[in-house]
Amino acid sequence: MPTTRERTTAIFRAEGRWREETFLDDLRAAARRQPDRAALICRHADGRGPETITYAALTDLVDRLAAALVRLGVRRGDVVTLQLPNSWQLIALCLACARAGAVPGPVVPIMRRREVEFMTRLTASPVYVAQATFRGFSYADMSAEVAAAVPTLRHRVLLDGADVVGALDFDRDLLGADRPLDPPPSELDARESGPDDPAQVMFTSGTTGEPKGVVHTNNTLYAMNRAQADVLWLSPDEVTAMGSPTTHQAGYTWNFLMPLLLGGTSVHVDAWDPGLMLRIIEEHRVTFFMGAPTFLADLIEAQRRSPRDLSALKTFATGSAPIPPVVVEQARDVLGCRVYALWGMTENGCVTITRPDQPPLRAAESDGSAVPGMEVRIVPDPGVAADTATAGGGVGRLQVRGASQCVGYFGRPETYAAALTDDGWFDTGDLARDDGYGGIRIAGRVKDLISRGAEKIPVVEVEAALLRHPAIRDVAVVGYPDERLGERACAVIVPAGPGQPPSLADLTGHLDALGMAKHYWPERVVLVAELPKTPSGKIQKFRLRELLAAPEQGVPR
């Protein structure tokens, strides 16, 4: 009698959601078909010239680095920790891990000793790779401290690390261009990861402060990338770019695996600079961009200041926060591109997205409908009052299942099991409602829900309404303790300009004019220069709660 997982695997394969090939097969196919096409173009915020890696060159680099990992004693199933900025070295190492039968463990560069020690200890990682120094921080020093604390971490490999005592140098000891390939390709063939083997351990971005190591296989990653490319009608001609780290799931899928799957070209930059990105879009004729609304707003502002030829740019996919209608219109008028709104997680990638055959402003009204191979449902939550119903329906817990759902949390099976319902759905921890168009509209996180007395406040809807105020550039609504009501709502605001910032009366008058129920209105305003965010642009609300709890933080009004 086949198990539930075996039955699911058979269904996904029969539907074409999963396959027998891997992304290494995509790489080799592209190298045979178009060996001289640029697979990667890497740009640097410090002004260094572009680095272009063709498909043929990338294939050779992957074999050379995979052989080096084997020589370091990396075994099948080992997690290799990669804390690198966006670069060809990062992409080549991720693929080299798969070629050697190991698993890449990307870590965003902003993580420090506490987080890196936790991650390497949990995964029992034997190898850590980083830039020796990046943006003024010494990863050489930090990794030495981590290695002293984590017994399994036998090797530190550093880019530009030739003079670092106790570490290996990437060029000299890993790349070794003058060294014969050892072990040979035949041995790498025997080690190479298969379609259902673990292909990634990606730690959640930490919007709640509790990262978990999400495990994906080649097939779950294939399902998410195939689906998102198909629904947006993307082709092998795409030139993609984005501002997020490739060590975050958004960057890993949209600007690494998806263009590789398509046989396109991806452009990578190691630090966010809107002016530089506009130049990149112009010079490399970028057709597709993915990033949080913050990146979109930055590009619009930069293009207004110093216009570039962006005529190749057609598509901008964005998520993680509400998109004001005016921003959708500005993207069309200033950048010349179409905006699509999406929702997803590290655990499952892009699950819902708006579509090309829908009105463009749908991106400001919806987070889209499920991509092929994924299902979503909204179930009642006893903690959400019935009177949070809106025109699109009541707010409930968002649950998903399907071909791109991860296979678990590394070393924490009980945590993953607790997120699954008895009938096999993954509880996302998000609240959503029906958008009225056959899709969903995110209403907030379960933990973000503000309980004001007996009333529940749909945080995301309030944020979306506030973003329509012309004096607000960015906003997050969070709860703060209240003795009588339990919680009240505070709007933490980044003003749009140097003029008079909006007062609480301005905001409540704005929400009143929009017809929003009074008990949803914030009762406090704090002004900040910027909101704390993950590298992918998600607001870290747990840090805002800490700010509100601390005395004399921000400017209360």
pLDDT beyond 70 at 387? no
User: Lowest-pLDDT range, 113-117, 404-408, 415-419?
Assistant: 113-117
pLDDT-derived band at 383 (thresholds 50, 70, 90) equals low
pLDDT-derived band at 127 (thresholds 50, 70, 90) equals very high
User: Lowest-pLDDT range, 31-40, 480-489, 492-501?
Assistant: 480-489
Q: Mean of the pLDDT values across residues 216-238? A: 98
- Coil, strand or helix at 171: helix
Report the pLDDT value the prediction gives residue 390, as an integer from 0 to 100. Answer: 39
User: Side by side, which strands form the sheet with 198-203?
Assistant: 198-203, 213-217, 408-409
Taking the C-alpha atoms of residue 330 and residue 467, their distance in angstroms, rounded to an integer, is 14
Q: To the nearest whole number, what is the mean pLDDT of the chain?
A: 91
Residue 436: CB atoms within 10 Å: 13
User: For the chain, how many helices (H) and strands (E)?
Assistant: 17, 29
User: Lowest-pLDDT range, 73-77, 463-467, 489-493, 535-539?
Assistant: 535-539
Most confident of 105-114, 267-276, 498-507: 267-276
pLDDT-derived band at 382 (thresholds 50, 70, 90) equals low
Q: Mean of the pLDDT values across residues 495-512? A: 90
Q: Mean of the pLDDT values across residues 305-332? A: 94
Q: What is the pLDDT of residues 295-312, one digit of tens each?
A: 998 999 999 999 999 999
pLDDT beyond 80 at 551? no
Residue 504: CB atoms within 10 Å: 16
pLDDT beyond 50 at 503? yes
Residue 169 carries which side chain, given as an amino acid letter? Answer: D
Taking the C-alpha atoms of residue 55 and residue 289, their distance in angstroms, rounded to an integer, is 21
Q: Mean of the pLDDT values across residues 275-288? A: 98
Report the pLDDT value the prediction gives residue 87, as an integer from 0 to 100. Answer: 97
Q: What is the CA radius of gyration of the chain?
A: 23
Report the pLDDT value the prediction gives residue 533, as an integer from 0 to 100. Answer: 83
Express as a percent the part of the chain with pLDDT over 70: 92
DSSP 332-399: IIII--EEEEEEEETTTEEEEE--TTS-GGGGGT---EEPTTEEEEEE--TTS-GGG-BTTB--EEEE
Report the pLDDT value the prediction gives residue 391, as an integer from 0 to 100. Answer: 38
User: Lowest-pLDDT range, 204-213, 284-293, 321-330, 459-468?
Assistant: 204-213
Q: What is the pLDDT of residues 419-441, one digit of tens each?
A: 999 999 999 999 999 999 999 99
Q: What is the pLDDT of residues 136-160, one digit of tens each?
A: 999 999 999 999 999 999 999 999 9
pLDDT beyond 60 at 556? no
Which is nearest to 17 in space by CA: 240, 247, 348?
A: 348
Express as a percent the part of the chain with pLDDT over 90: 74
Q: What is the pLDDT of residues 59-106, one digit of tens each?
A: 999 999 999 999 999 999 999 999 999 999 999 999 999 999 999 999
Q: Mean of the pLDDT values across residues 212-219? A: 97
pLDDT beyond 70 at 177? no
Residue 95: CB atoms within 10 Å: 26
Residue found by looking up tokens 């915020």 in the block: 45
Report the pLDDT value the prediction gives residue 392, as an integer from 0 to 100. Answer: 43
Contact assessment for residue 231 and residue 355, using Cβ atoms and an 8 Å cutoff: yes
User: Side by side, which strands form the sheet with 426-434?
Assistant: 374-379, 396-402, 426-434, 440-445
Domains belonging to the chain, first-starting first, are 55-193 (3.40.50.980), 448-556 (3.30.300.30)
Is the CA virtual torsion 452, 439, 322, 430 positive or negative? Answer: positive
Report the pLDDT value the prediction gives residue 534, as an integer from 0 to 100. Answer: 77
Report the pLDDT value the prediction gives residue 164, as an integer from 0 to 100. Answer: 96
pLDDT beyond 60 at 209? no
Q: Mean of the pLDDT values across residues 274-278? A: 97
